[in-house]
Amino acid sequence: MEYLGETPIEYARIELSTEPLDRPTRDVRLPPVAMDLSKSASQVQFENRQVRIIRVVCAAGKPCGTSLHPTDPAAVVTLSGPHRGNVEWSPRPETGPLEQVRIELKTAPVR
């Protein structure tokens, strides 16, 4: 992949090792979503039978909400706050202000 823009960017590439259902026919690249950082909220950005991608905003001093699907393991990318840039496997809940992207796995691991 080659980036042709002029402003610096950061990204995390996460390859799934789960049973591939509803595999996209192309790369799924999600544009940035404008969310009100003063209010805690979560919004599903993409979902199929294999994976669910959720954008989460945690307001200052407020705990981040837990997943509505706590039995689905998740990789969590922290976009802001003191742990900005961290990618963690099902981390403990944190307190805002921060933004996260949760990638919840819905299918079993490939053996």
pLDDT tens, position by position, for the chain (111 residues)? 677 788 887 777 778 788 777 776 777 677 777 888 889 999 999 888 888 999 999 999 998 877 888 888 899 999 888 888 889 988 888 889 999 999 999 988 887
Query: What beta strand segments (E) does 11-97 contain?
Result: 41-47, 51-58, 74-78, 87-89
Query: How far is the C-alpha of 111 from the C-alpha of 108, rounded, in Å?
Result: 9
- What is the phi/psi pair of residue 61, to 5°? 75, 0
d(CA 104, CA 14): 12
CB 34 within 8 A of CB 24: no
